[in-house]
Chains A and B, each alone.
Chain A
Amino acid sequence: MFINKSIKELRKGIKQKDFSKKEIADFYLSRIKKFNNLNAFSHIHPINEKDLNNSDISSDTLSGIPVALKDNILSRNNPATACSKILDGFIAPYDATVTSKLKSSGAILIGNNNMDEFAMGSSSENSSLGNVLNPWDLNKVPGGSSGGGAAAVAARLIPVALGTDTGGSVRQPASFCGIVGLKPTYGRNSRYGVIAYASSLDQVGVMTNSVEDCALVSEIIAGFDPLDSTSVDVPIPNFSSTLGKDIKGLRIGIPKEYFIKELNTEIDTSIRTALSELEKLGATLVEISLPHTEYAVATYYIIAPAEAASNLSRYDGIRYGKRSKDTEDLFDLYCKTRTEGFGTEVKRRILIGTYVLSEGYFDAYYIKAQKVRTLVANDFKEVFENQCDIIACPTAPTTAFNLGEKCNDPISMYLNDIFTIPTNLAGLPAMSIPCGFDSNNMPIGLQLIGKAWDEETIFKTAYLYEQTHDWHKRIPKGFE
């Protein structure tokens, strides 16, 4: 009965006593239970009945709205393991800033979503809890690393899920699962209490079924946090108030480097159809060039593992989490704990990261990559200064692939992030929204990339486009 009800509708219903907060929570909890074959959740939070047994809704809050957190976002007294064995048994002693913002806006935190271990992966197959299934086709991956959240939102197990996006981890699964996912400008949201993967790239992002819901939640979790010195003290715009404004005269840049031979032709067609819809809405299409796009993946796979290797040094079995038994000495305790605690992909990235930071290789790999990062960012700066107001392109070169398909080929897995990585390197906001289905009925995502701090143009454009179709209202078969 609550499926496809927007946050606003749910709020109105609570207020008018059409239904209660408890009914909403119970409805979603029963769906989570019923569809646990998706393996989209890692943990269900105990809910304080007091939060459900009232119909209080102060306006502009998420009162009574169920929300799920990616398993790398801390909520006090609940487990947060980033789906890694090394954090087995870890109970968070504090709230992430985004968590406390959700709490104080009245959201009901239902549980944590399954994910690729430490957010490293593009398929949600690298989880200590086993892989997540794509509700559109149970033989396919939901994308990653926020695959649990994306699958849960797509299957209507939860109306809102918070993910994290380091190289596309919100947008690519949003694209694979046919939902809306926003990665905001780097520094827009606090990273405090979010288990770090690559600190200079990580951002928390919101996944929902509609652009409007995404805007409502995004504006609640945004803002400078004195506990995160990389968050930036800029005014928090009212994203939802831009919805419905027209886009007449908006210049949309179409980067030619994103329409390459690796791009699936059905996706190409869908994107081009979406572009002509946008044109009909009054926007102008401009062909642009982002010449360093082809170097983004290589740049990312140096910078991200380097930061990851460093960030994951704290998981050492000394103070919390897993500590291996029967170790010979301290050195063995470290090694055994980390060998047993980390999965294959995490180990691979730790090793790569350690290597590129080590003596003799640092300048050749790490500093070189940081310089190319500057060039990737400059590409965007230039087109935004001179040619366009927003960029439109595919979110991923393919639709969801088969489970196991890329597990033994890390490079091909990495290349699936080719269209999402550049925006993380440049720190820009970007959203994936549904723009159709391929012949196998798998969702396709359109990516909108904005100027730094200009999520508003993204929301405005995405919302108008969303009104031209009903893809976001379609529900995967079997989950109605």
Chain B
Amino acid sequence: MTTNKLQKNDIFKIFKLSRMHPEEEKVNKLIEEFNSILELAEKLNEVDTKNIDATSHVHGATNIFREDKRSDFTAKEKILSIMPENSGTYIKVPIVIEQE
């Protein structure tokens, strides 16, 4: 891992990937903060992690399952009542350009 100094373009790309609009006047400050956070992160380069497993789950529990049983949620109407825009029980959104 080399020191990755982030540029404006990189930030814009991350904004887009995160589905947020960059606020032009704040971008320079953000880049600065971002780079200092990454600098902090790069401290980890000092640590030798050869042959060390990555921890994705902190306790060793495995195989927690549920049986294949259906049970209907009792407050469906409550969920449907909080949709910001709807058409009947459908959620309404601006048209999706193309179905993937």
Mark A residues whose CB is within 8 Å of B.
Answer: 76-77, 89-91, 93-94, 185-187, 200, 226, 229-230, 232, 292, 294-295, 297-299, 301-302, 309, 316-323, 327, 329-331, 333-336, 338-339, 342, 347-348, 350-352, 354-356, 358, 361, 364-365, 367-375, 377, 410-411, 414, 425-427, 452
Chain B 25-60: CB-based contact to A (< 8 A → 1; otherwise 0): 000001001101100111111110100111111110
Q: Report chain A residues within 8 Å CB of B34.
A: 348, 351-352, 355
Given A302-B41, A369-B44, check contact A316 B19 (CB 8 Å).
yes
Q: Report chain B residues within 8 Å CB of A365.
A: 1, 41
15 sampled A-B residue pairs with Cβ under 8 A = A297-B40, A298-B41, A321-B84, A331-B19, A334-B19, A355-B34, A358-B14, A358-B17, A371-B49, A372-B49, A373-B54, A374-B55, A377-B55, A414-B40, A452-B59
Given A335-B19, A339-B20, A358-B14, check contact A200 B43 (CB 8 Å).
no
Q: Report chain B residues within 8 Å CB of A200.
A: 56-58
Greatest chain A CB density within 10 A among B30, B64, B73 is at B64
Q: Report chain B residues within 8 Å CB of A410.
A: 33, 36-37
Query: Contact: A93 with B47, CB < 8 Å?
Result: no
Q: Report chain A residues within 8 Å CB of B57.
A: 200, 230
Q: Report chain A residues within 8 Å CB of B41.
A: 298, 301-302, 356, 365, 369
- In the assembly, what is the distance between CA of A361 and CA of B10, in Å? 12
Query: Contact: A336 with B43, CB < 8 Å?
Result: no
Closest to A227 in B: B66
Q: Report chain A residues within 8 Å CB of B54.
A: 367, 370-371, 373-374
Query: Contact: A373 with B83, CB < 8 Å?
Result: no
- In the assembly, what is the distance between CA of A291 and CA of B1, in Å? 22
- Assuming A354-B14, A354-B18, what are 20 further A-B pairs, CB within 8 angstroms? A76-B75, A93-B78, A94-B73, A298-B43, A299-B44, A320-B79, A321-B84, A330-B93, A339-B21, A348-B33, A350-B18, A351-B15, A351-B30, A355-B6, A355-B10, A368-B1, A368-B44, A371-B54, A410-B33, A410-B36
Q: Report chain B residues within 8 Å CB of A316.
A: 19
Query: Contact: B84 with A186, CB < 8 Å?
Result: no
- In the assembly, what is the distance between CA of A144 and CA of B75, in Å? 33
Query: Contact: A187 with B59, CB < 8 Å?
Result: yes
Q: Is B88 an interface residue (CB 8 A)?
A: no
| Interface size in chain B (residues, C-beta < 8 A) | 53
Q: Report chain B residues within 8 Å CB of A185.
A: 59
Query: Contact: A370 with B56, CB < 8 Å?
Result: yes
Min distance, Cβ A96 to any Cβ of chain B, angstroms: 14
Closest to A338 in B: B20
Chain A interface helix/strand/loop/mixed:
helix
Given A317-B84, A354-B17, A368-B49, check contact A411 B37 (CB 8 Å).
yes
Mark B residues whose CB is within 8 Å of A.
Answer: 1, 4, 6, 10-11, 14-15, 17-21, 23, 30, 33-34, 36-37, 40-47, 49, 52-59, 61, 64-66, 73, 75, 78-79, 82-85, 91, 93-97
Chain B interface helix/strand/loop/mixed:
loop
- CB-based closest 7 A-B pairs: A370-B54, A427-B58, A93-B78, A323-B84, A371-B49, A229-B64, A364-B1
Closest to B66 in A: A226
- In the assembly, what is the distance between CA of A352 and CA of B55, in Å? 20
Min distance, Cβ A346 to any Cβ of chain B, angstroms: 10
Q: Report chain B residues within 8 Å CB of A371.
A: 47, 49, 52-55
Closest to A340 in B: B21
Query: Contact: B66 with A411, CB < 8 Å?
Result: no
Q: Report chain B residues within 8 Å CB of A377.
A: 55, 58
- In the assembly, what is the distance between CA of A118 and CA of B14, in Å? 20
Q: Report chain A residues within 8 Å CB of B91.
A: 318-319
- In the assembly, what is the distance between CA of A478 and CA of B2, in Å? 54
Q: Report chain B residues within 8 Å CB of A333.
A: 93-94
Query: Contact: B58 with A351, CB < 8 Å?
Result: no
Query: Contact: B93 with A318, CB < 8 Å?
Result: yes
- In the assembly, what is the distance between CA of A229 and CA of B37, in Å? 32
Closest to A358 in B: B17
Q: Report chain A residues within 8 Å CB of B55.
A: 370-371, 373-374, 377
Query: Contact: A426 with B58, CB < 8 Å?
Result: yes
Min distance, Cβ B61 to any Cβ of chain A, angstroms: 5
- In the assembly, what is the distance between CA of A232 and CA of B61, in Å? 7
- In the assembly, what is the distance between CA of A347 and CA of B1, in Å? 24
Query: Contact: B66 with A320, CB < 8 Å?
Result: no
